[in-house]
Amino acid sequence: MQSPASIEKETNTAVAEPPSKHERRLYELWGAIRDLGSVQELLDWDQETHMPSRGAVSRSHVCGTVATLKHRAVTDDELWEVIEACAAEAPEGSLLAAQARVARRDAARARRIPEDLAKAKAIARSRGTMAWQKARAAADFSLFQSELQELLDLAKEEAAALDPDGNPYDALMDRFEPGATEEELVPLFDHLVAELTPMVRAVMDSGKEVDESPVQGFFDVTRQQELAKYAASAFGFDFEAGRLDTAIHPFCVGIAPDDVRLTWRWQEDDLRPALYGVLHEAGHGLYEQGLPADWHRTPLGNAVSLGVHESQSRLFENQVGRSRGFWTWLWPRFAELFPEQAAAGSVDRIWPALHTVKPSLIRVEADEGTYNLHVAIRFQIERALFRGDLQVADLPEAWNDAYGELLGTRPADDSEGVLQDIHWSQAIFGYFPTYTLGTMTSAQLFEAAERDLGPLEEAFAEGEIQPLLGWMREHVHRHGRRYEAGELIERATGEPRSPAALMTYLRRKTEAVYGLS
Amino acid sequence: MQSPASIEKETNTAVAEPPSKHERRLYELWGAIRDLGSVQELLDWDQETHMPSRGAVSRSHVCGTVATLKHRAVTDDELWEVIEACAAEAPEGSLLAAQARVARRDAARARRIPEDLAKAKAIARSRGTMAWQKARAAADFSLFQSELQELLDLAKEEAAALDPDGNPYDALMDRFEPGATEEELVPLFDHLVAELTPMVRAVMDSGKEVDESPVQGFFDVTRQQELAKYAASAFGFDFEAGRLDTAIHPFCVGIAPDDVRLTWRWQEDDLRPALYGVLHEAGHGLYEQGLPADWHRTPLGNAVSLGVHESQSRLFENQVGRSRGFWTWLWPRFAELFPEQAAAGSVDRIWPALHTVKPSLIRVEADEGTYNLHVAIRFQIERALFRGDLQVADLPEAWNDAYGELLGTRPADDSEGVLQDIHWSQAIFGYFPTYTLGTMTSAQLFEAAERDLGPLEEAFAEGEIQPLLGWMREHVHRHGRRYEAGELIERATGEPRSPAALMTYLRRKTEAVYGLS
């Protein structure tokens, strides 16, 4: 793996030797903010993976205190003055100007949120996660309902504080995807749904079914983990600067570029959920590990947006992990770990089972063909919640109805319905649309990378992921937050964000698997 | 297990409904301090158990920031004023007077330490721990020497800041054992060494050897863990409010009374290191879990001293865990897990192997007969370091010489010599003597508990540890920091801290095993 530090050597000298006392002070103050962010990441990771069940109450106090201190640090008057001073002295287009721009954005946003609200949210979030875990285990939404109500009320309060006259949902999305608005996204989702629904319908109506038996049966958990880590390592994920643990919900936290943690879960009767869960999170992890080390603890040192983050996870999960080339390379190891399945199968038999178009209930395990419909449901439901057209108590029903309508399938209980995602329990509203933005972007970036590098399938078949990773490092990872998400994608691909590449990619696969165009 | 909250219901109402605005504010401010302490505990635990190896550098920044914020919170002028106000309004002998007393002690201590020093120490500590881990794995002190030098220099700076004209070693010990002084402890250690050395010598000279084969051979790691957790649970350790992980060095952190984490390590060829390591840490854990929940996040809510802490770990490890009664109860489970060893052995054959008096190199695995000589060596070496009579570069030699002299055995390399303990790498100097204070106290407390409850051996044979744990909850745990350590022990045992009970206990065991008096 290419070292981000070496790539950045030239452009980042300004950070290594800050030329002014304001800039130096900005990095000192920002360093502490980032450190508290790292603490929050660690607290979250620990709560999801290792914390004893009874530890939840005292943990919620700790989360409240850390959130308060971080909020105080970001809203600190001295920081604001230092940002202004940096902005004033920074030459246009310089790195420092970019540092000041994103620092001001974060500080201005935080300064609109009262400290008590920041703290209340952190406490509600910590309690909410525990309640959600219990409710999910019991498949009983009512065990989470009052916590969710509180989280939603706090989110509305936050949206009102951020933009008293604006659209609350926009104010919340802006945290994850700066600048995103309902106005822009609704037509985009409508367009995607309009294209995807007939495609899915056509597959259903054709009555054609893919043989999924090559990836079903019995897969030993330890061996599944071995295969997944082997593949993630081949992508370039560095397990000396990261790790993999078990959690209810697969996720990735970037405590620092040299401490990036993935989680996974598995099914013994299907290879796909664990393997593609890990490869998805490894894609996130590659972005985190590829962020410029020299900018760590400065405003530019983080990922630019969740949409861009998701483009990396979707790209490594799908464009790489589901490719025939990659499976050609993976096959010998797969055969070692699962000799019975290998004897009965082949890459050609497995490949279609990785490209089904088949309505299902769980988003993170959905196939590529239906994935964005899962996201569209959440987008629609969240918007209704924030418009006030939907009450918390009615969520399970609304969720199940939406699945029935858009995917033609209905959850049997809340654990495979409204309780499947962790986000709301963590006070995360307005995040879901970034999944589809990211999926679109992954297809665009892959197209652009192949334009630059030539077709990659053969390289994948040799286990050579490095050229693609290098391209992502160069065009995405190393820039941190230097450019706005839209600008970054346009610089990388030469075109604005659009669903065209994704639809081309999905149609091609669907044709190959189902013989439908 | 008895709930500490219920025991405390009567005495702690003052905390539940604080009567004055000062008292309320004291708990608010202290809550944040305790939360940052919990973060530090979690960071430490994570660094020792899960953090990826490359994460050390960015982690050291995080530790520095958290230490700075905690230092700022403890030295905050408003806190000082609130403490003074509470002290002024608190009736003599009241709970609030005790809260104000220990809060003032902590604040006064912190106010003498400059913020930069607190931060530098936290950073050095985090880096030092990583360097120590590497040095220990390579059995090469030179890989740790420069970090240790820095840690020692910072400790001397801290001691000078705490008490410019006093004894530096006393100033450092005071952090772990309030009020402890070299003047008091040197004669105590001299006395113990004078009593122990001839006892150990007599055993050596007798040529008698205990048959250790019943606890040696091959013990499957997973089963060792099962046995250890089974025993710790029987003691009353609540694994829903705690956990057990693997680390280089066994330790216990109390993130909160409901989140107490033990670590362990093991040898496949000897049952004792893992089992007694876990039971020792479980003793610490029982104290942490038994601290009054109502006082959590108030000044009184922590353990009173490390010496008292160690009395609990040593008592559950030795007086309970090595007793014939406890083994009688444990035997059926042991036989299930290790049927071969059980077929060849018996409680009567195992018991002597748990009570050897046999010089060895590793303190945490030393037998009871020689344990305090290991501590005496560290006490002597630390004092020499702080007097300036010993240089860091000469430590390995001095360590090996001391082992040769006092225990008649010499480490083959640094990993079983000067690098065996984690303490110095964590900026912990002046802690070791509390191990012997605690060991003395464990024998005193056990004598006192048996005076109150009658002989406990038979209860142990029935697996009834609860009466002893209840006595400790009542006389030790539930008081938190309400009384000074010496006063607490005197209230519990009716006598001042003394080595008499320990020597009686050791002589009795040595006589039983070796037939020597």
Q: Report DSSP letters for A196-229, one per residue.
A: HHHHHHHHHHHT-----GGGBS---HHHHHHHHH
Give B59-103 pLDDT, tens digit per residue: 999 999 999 999 999 999 999 999 999 999 999 999 999 999 999
Interface residue of A58, A68, A70 to substitute, partner B, most B CBs within 10 Å: A58
Alpha-carbon gap: B406 to the closest alpha carbon of chain A (Å)? 42
Q: Residue A61 burial by CB count (10 A; 0-12/13-18/19+): exposed, middle or buried?
A: buried
Contact with chain A for residue B257, Cβ under 8 A: yes
Report chain A's C-alpha Rg in angstroms: 23
Q: What pLDDT does residue A517 have?
A: 57
Alpha-carbon gap: A120 to the closest alpha carbon of chain B (Å)? 14
Q: What pLDDT does residue B489 have?
A: 97
What mean pLDDT do residues B123-147 have?
A: 94
Q: Which one is predicted more confidently, B30 or B248? A: B30
A11 within domain boundaries: yes
How many C-beta atoms surround the C-beta of residue B197 within 10 A? Answer: 15
Contacts of B28 in chain A (CB under 8 A): none
Contact with chain B for residue A246, Cβ under 8 A: no
| Angstrom distance (rounded) from CA B77 to CA B110 | 12
Q: What pLDDT does residue B516 have?
A: 78
Contact with chain A for residue B14, Cβ under 8 A: no
Closest CA to A330 of A473, A356, A341: A341
Closest CA to A155 of A138, A139, A173: A173
Mean pLDDT over each residue of chain B, to the nearest integer = 94
B318 within domain boundaries: no
Q: For the stretch B199-236, what's the b/e string if a residue is b when 16 or more beta carbons lie within 10 angstroms of its beta carbon?
A: bbeebeeeeeebebebbebebeeeebbebbbebbebbb
Backbone angles phi, psi at A219, to 5 degrees: -125, 115
Contacts of A241 in chain B (CB under 8 A): 52, 54-55
Structure-derived torsion over alpha carbons of residues A144, A146, A152, A158, reported in degrees to the nearest 10? -120
A513 within domain boundaries: no
A62 within domain boundaries: yes
Contact with chain A for residue B116, Cβ under 8 A: no
Which chain B residue has the Cα nearest residue A42?
B43
Q: Residue A261 pairs with which residues in a beta bridge?
A: A243, A253
Interface residue of B34, B62, B263 to substitute, partner A, most A CBs within 10 Å: B62
**Strand, coil or helix: A420:** coil
pTM assigned to the model: 0.93
Contact with chain B for residue A226, Cβ under 8 A: no
CA–CA distances in Å: residue B347 to residues B215, B274, B318: 11, 18, 16
Check CB contact under 8 Å for B297 and A61.
yes
Angle between helix A368-387 and helix A142-162 axes, rounded to 10 deg: 70
Backbone angles phi, psi at A432, to 5 degrees: -50, -45
Check CB contact under 8 Å for B54 and A296.
no
Active site positions of A, annotated: 281
Closest CA to B301 of B484, B31, B488, B485: B31
Q: Is the ipTM of this complex over 0.90?
A: yes
How many C-beta atoms surround the C-beta of residue A504 within 10 A? Answer: 12
Contact with chain B for residue A125, Cβ under 8 A: no
Q: What pLDDT does residue A324 have?
A: 97
Contact with chain A for residue B297, Cβ under 8 A: yes
Nearest to B259 among A51, A68, A255 (CB): A51
How many C-beta atoms surround the C-beta of residue B289 within 10 A? Answer: 25
pLDDT at B245 over 70: yes
| Angstrom distance (rounded) from CA A67 to CA A412 | 38
Nearest to A36 among B32, B65, B260 (CB): B65
Check CB contact under 8 Å for A240 and B50.
no
| Binding-face residues of B in 434-493 toward A, CB within 8 A | none
Check CB contact under 8 Å for A243 and B52.
yes
Q: What pLDDT does residue B17 have?
A: 54
CA angle A80, A83, A88 (to 5 degrees): 125
Which chain B residue has the Cα nearest residue A61?
B35
A37 within domain boundaries: yes
Contacts of A35 in chain B (CB under 8 A): 61-62, 64-66
Check CB contact under 8 Å for A54 and B296.
no
Half-sphere exposure (CA, 13 Å, Cβ side) for B469? 29
Backbone region of residue A408 per phi and psi (left: phi > 0; alpha: psi in -120 to 50; beta: other values): left
Which chain A residue has the Cα nearest residue B58?
A256
Active site positions of B, annotated: 281
Check CB contact under 8 Å for B65 and A257.
no
Structural domain harbouring B103: 4-167
pLDDT at B493 over 80: yes
Contact with chain B for residue A297, Cβ under 8 A: yes
Whether the Cβ atoms of residue B145 and residue B125 lie closer than 8 Å to each other: no
Amino acid occupying residue B488? L
Q: What pLDDT does residue B18 have?
A: 57
Alpha-carbon gap: B410 to the closest alpha carbon of chain A (Å)? 35
- The per-residue DSSP string of B387-430 comes to HTSS-GGGHHHHHHHHHHHHHS---SSGGGTTTS-SGGGGT--S
A198 within domain boundaries: no
Contacts of A243 in chain B (CB under 8 A): 50, 52
Residue A370 tokens read as 């239906």
Of the pLDDT bands very low, low, confident and very high (cuts 50, 70, 90), residue B1 is very low
| Angstrom distance (rounded) from CA A387 to CA A398 | 15
**Strand, coil or helix: B436:** helix
Give B414-467 pLDDT, tens digit per residue: 999 999 999 999 999 999 999 999 999 999 999 999 999 999 999 999 999 999
Contact with chain A for residue B239, Cβ under 8 A: yes
Q: Which residues contact A186 (CB under 8 A, 6 or more apart)?
A: none
pLDDT at B413 over 60: yes
Which chain B residue has the Cα nearest residue A242?
B52
Whether the Cβ atoms of residue A349 and residue A329 lie closer than 8 Å to each other: no
Intervals of chain A under pLDDT 50: 1-15
Contacts of A51 in chain B (CB under 8 A): 259
Whether the Cβ atoms of residue A173 and residue A432 lie closer than 8 Å to each other: no
B90 within domain boundaries: yes
How many C-beta atoms surround the C-beta of residue A356 within 10 A? Answer: 22
Contacts of B58 in chain A (CB under 8 A): 38, 255-259, 296-297
B74 within domain boundaries: yes
Check CB contact under 8 Å for B57 and A257.
no
Contact with chain A for residue B6, Cβ under 8 A: no
Counted domains in chain A: 1
